[in-house]
Amino acid sequence: MANLPSPVSCVPRHVAIVMDGNGRWAKKRHLPRVAGHKQGVDALRRTVRACLERDVQVLTVFAFSSENWSRPEDEVSGLMNLLVMALSREVPKLSKNGVRLHFPGDSHGLSSRVLQGLQKAEQTTVHNQKMVLNVCFNYGGRWDIAQAARQLVAQGREITEEGLCETTALAHVGDPDLLIRTGGEMRISNFLLWQCAYTELFFTPCLWPDFDAAELDRAFADFAGRERRFGQTSDQLTMTQSGASPHA
């Protein structure tokens, strides 16, 4: 087997993660699902620290899907409480480490307590520049495209690719270079549908509560071995990188 490149040889600028497997982690241990979500918060803390150490500029995570409202009421309630508690505990540490928080998603349906927590976290970290952490909450990729189109219509603008790029929920950070999905499923589950047109995908069977810096490095090593062509051929890409004209 060929050796993979060093995981630090090519660090993605923008990493996105579908944090899947909390429920299965808890079930394997005969624990309530909310226990898995609590361990998932710990995994996110580790991952943020690892990304900071590796100079990742943007980390975007899928925390709560717009489809997750259909889950059992006690689980949804537990997730909301967990979010509020995590914000209270983690935001001061994140701010100290230079992390700026954003919460892309639909604010409709969220309680005033949750909304206030999200807004306070964004305001507290607004001037930080070390890394942007997007916590997508009550988010869906289809919702994102629809709300972007509505913005353009309201502004009297034509719906174009350029316009949608300017009005989607992650317009402030650009598209992900690498999307990691934990838990073994091989789909993106309505996450960043517009933004992932040329994103590299990495799927791991590791359940999210078990995700750590070593698993992140495996994803980065795999990413470093990819050839990102963005619609070009390999020969065109080589000429572009060398400064030669493909028409010479």
Closest C-alpha to 217, from 238, 202, 232, 200: 202
Q: What is the dihedral of CA 11, 12, 16, 22, to 10 degrees?
A: -20
Per-residue burial over 57-93, b = 16 or more CB atoms within 10 Å of its CB, e = otherwise = bbbbbbbbbbebeeeeeeeeebbbebbbebbeebbee
H or E, element range at 202: strand 200-203
Give SS3 for 13. Answer: coil
Known catalytic residue at 68: yes
Give SS3 for 124. Answer: helix
- Distance (Å, whole) CA 78 – CA 61: 19
**Sheet with 131-139, edge to edge strand ranges:** 99-102, 131-139, 58-65, 14-18, 178-181, 200-203
**Residues in Cβ contact with 116 at an 8 Å cutoff, skipping those fewer than 6 apart:** none
- Distance (Å, whole) CA 235 – CA 229: 10
Choosing from 3, 20, 134, 222, the catalytic residue is 20
Choosing from 3, 42, 68, 190, the catalytic residue is 68
Whether residue 47 contacts residue 99, with contact meaning beta carbons closer than 8 Å, is answered with no
Any idea which residues carry the catalytic annotation?
20, 68
